[in-house]
Structure 1
């Protein structure tokens, strides 16, 4: 039931990639004509319900639940993982390779630039940018970062922490994303 950490670590990039590509939500349906249970998605282009998997009678209720919720659960786990790592980074100052004392943060202000950088790696945020903010189809880190800098009218995401206008644009973009997420999920 449990996986060893060394076995799980190499799978993280694949989980992130698949979570960003898989259909948002699956539903269970029963095909009366063929008399079989199916897992379906809604085609975003046509609105038609399309079967993507057939369920046999031997498929248990718990296995069906897991299959139905797989896209949502994977995205939730990746979001929790990113949040946990962000909290760990806040608590653990970076080590100086020369052995000097870790530097203390000088400001209690939130690090919006770091928040932006982390969100740019999230598959859901990338999808939001693609669907709502004309992000080019290439899903590379530098393309996403460049597009966000363009939207925020800055040369560097670090300006979000120092430029009030850039910070305002970032907070607005983040709020739009959060609103979009509520509609999508």
Structure 2
């Protein structure tokens, strides 16, 4: 197969990744009010929006499945990424050679990380989960993140597959922490 031609499964996997990225951080919570159960999402500025309402006939399992969908997709994508990485190692394929369906090489995790390091909620997360000491300055946050990820520079998130995987895991843990804070 031509290296530039993706299989239908690889194309679909890229579409799923793009869809998940487009709704980031996808911080969803199931909430109840006088009208019934619904999914609430947090906007970029912390504001809350009703994403979807459930019919009275929806089961708890169905509501939980819908509410947890972004976290489940993140988990499954991380599992696939780890599997692709293991397969590449076993086959001796260099990490720079993208496996089908993996994120495009131009994904700028370094820039994403730099932005996240300025987020006040991310700073509190690092303080609570990773021992970041006060004052919670941008420089301290950047240093702590580099330490957690085992990199000298955030730019390694764009060039080192294992560093990118570590960043994605930290980002997912932060999203889970945010969800638990509600």
Q: TM-score, normalised by structure 1?
A: 0.53
Rg larger in 1 or in 2? 1
* Contact 2:40/2:51, CA 8 A, preserved across alignment: yes
Residue in 1 aligned with 2:16? 15
Q: How does 1:80-159 map to 2 (within 5 A)?
A: 80-93=79-92, 114=96, 125=109, 128-129=112-113, 131-132=115-116
CA RMSD after TM alignment: 4.0
Please state how far the C-alpha of 1:85 moved relative to its aligned partner: 0.6
Aligned pair count reads: 128
Residue in 2 aligned with 1:27? 29
Unaligned runs of 5+ in 1: 1-5, 95-110, 135-166
* Contact 2:40/2:50, CA 8 A, preserved across alignment: yes
Q: TM-score, normalised by structure 2?
A: 0.53
Q: Which moved more, 1:19-28 or 1:70-79?
A: 19-28
Distance verdict in 2 for CA 1:28–1:10, change over 3 Å? same
Distance verdict in 2 for CA 1:120–1:78, change over 3 Å? same
Residue in 2 aligned with 1:184? 175
* Contact 2:17/2:103, CA 8 A, preserved across alignment: no
CA distance in 2, matches of 1:119, 1:9: 10
Q: Secondary structure at the match of 2:76?
A: helix
Please state how far the C-alpha of 1:180 moved relative to its aligned partner: 5.0
CA distance in 2, matches of 1:78, 1:122: 18
Distance verdict in 2 for CA 1:170–1:27, change over 3 Å? closer
Distance verdict in 2 for CA 1:168–1:125, change over 3 Å? closer
Residue in 2 aligned with 1:43? 43
